[in-house]
Structure 1
Amino acid sequence: MSDTAGTTPSIKRRLIAMVYEAFLLLAVDMLAVALYLLVTRNSHAPVFQFGLKVWLFVVTGAYFTWGWTNSGHTLAMKTWRMQVVTNGGTRLPLTTAVVRYLLAWGWFLPALLACTALGLKDKSQVGVALIVGIVGWSLTALLDRDRQFLHDRLAGTRVVALPKKTAAPGAAPAEAS
């Protein structure tokens, strides 16, 4: 794929795909939690609580890096016809995918650190902090000449739109059911 093979999807389209991604990731993480609780026999010791957070971080990272290195997209990105590629237009190598995953925590990490520093624990306060952080990170695309988010710029990647699939010439149209 060349650098001009796909245009940058709109910020709105990428954010909507991220919301869809959050629902898919919720299902993946629920399965990961169930497995972890089964293996640890639902122990509530602090080391197991910390271990669960590490486990979810790793499972989430594996979900994204596998999709980005295998096909160039996750299920949500495929649904919204988007693909992540290197700036040269090639599929992401594993190290680049891992770097992109770590940098993408910029969507949430500053807000979570601010909540910790300020001692915010109320769900509404944490929610507002996360929304402010997400909006702030979204605005980074407005400052970028190619409308890429900051984590893509820093990782040397870009999200491109994929064309709509068209029926082959002479193929019968799909029947409505």
Structure 2
Amino acid sequence: MYRPDFADTLTYSTLRRRLAALVYDSLAAIGIIFIASLLILPFSEGEALDQSSVGYQLYRLYLLLLMLFYFAWSWSRGQTLGMRSWRLYLVTDEIKRVSFARAAARFIIALLLPIIGYTSLIWRADKKTIPDLILGTNVLYKPK
């Protein structure tokens, strides 16, 4: 069973730390999207895809699934690249590793509720977002 050795020292993450990690993760996501787009370029013969075409819709789905996989895979291992930099961990309420399915569901809920889902951070003492409340997860901070 996964339980970090430092679980007893974890505290609730602040909005500032989460936003800082989000900025870092956005940079990682841009890099992933850039490389993924380069892989598709030969199939479009270097031309931009027509937004009404099936190819464009498949391209958007491809990028969405790639982002879902990146975040779900990272969260199921405890941290994204941005979270590592800010010493944040995603765990269940029991301080256990989050499953890939739960992490994928968290990504989808966060995508559907981009701003509303995170407003609860402001008034909740445990700093849980709506995706955290629905899925029984926490983003915790490990002080130095």
8 Å contact from structure 2 (residues 11, 141) kept in 1? yes
Q: Residue 103 of structure 1 is aligned with which of 95, 109, 122? A: 109
8 Å contact from structure 2 (residues 72, 101) kept in 1? no
8 Å contact from structure 1 (residues 106, 151) kept in 2? no
TM-score normalised by the chain length of structure 2: 0.84
The aligned counterpart of 2:97 is 91
Tell me: CA distance 1:148–1:8, structure 2 relative to 1, closer, same or farther (3 Å): same
1:157 aligns with 2:137: yes
Whole-Å Cα distance in 2 between the matches of residues 103 and 55 of structure 1?
19
Whole-Å Cα distance in 2 between the matches of residues 22 and 89 of structure 1?
26
- 1:59-84: per-residue Cα shift (whole Å, max 9, x none)? 001111111113x0011100000010
Larger deviation, residues 61-70 vs 80-89: 61-70
The alignment partner of 2:95 has SS state of coil
Whole-Å Cα distance in 1 between the matches of residues 125 and 62 of structure 2?
37
- In angstroms, what is the RMSD of aligned CA positions? 2.0
Report the alpha carbon displacement of residue 30 of structure 1 after superposing the two structures with TM: 0.8
- 1:74-129: per-residue Cα shift (whole Å, max 9, x none)? 11100000010011110111111111111111344xxxxxxxxxxxxxxxxxxxxx
Provide the identity percentage.
Answer: 26
The aligned counterpart of 2:120 is 140
Q: Residue 35 of structure 1 is aligned with which of 29, 35, 39? A: 39
Tell me: CA distance 1:137–1:96, structure 2 relative to 1, closer, same or farther (3 Å): closer
Unmatched tracts of structure 2, length 5 or more: none
Tell me: CA distance 1:53–1:152, structure 2 relative to 1, closer, same or farther (3 Å): same
- Matched length: 137
Whole-Å Cα distance in 1 between the matches of residues 80 and 141 of structure 2?
13
Larger deviation, residues 6-15 vs 39-48: 39-48
Whole-Å Cα distance in 1 between the matches of residues 15 and 82 of structure 2?
15
Tell me: CA distance 1:42–1:155, structure 2 relative to 1, closer, same or farther (3 Å): farther
TM-score normalised by the chain length of structure 1: 0.69
Task: Extract structure 1 runs of 4+ deviating beyond 4 A.
Answer: 2-5
The aligned counterpart of 1:56 is 63
Higher gyration radius (CA):
1
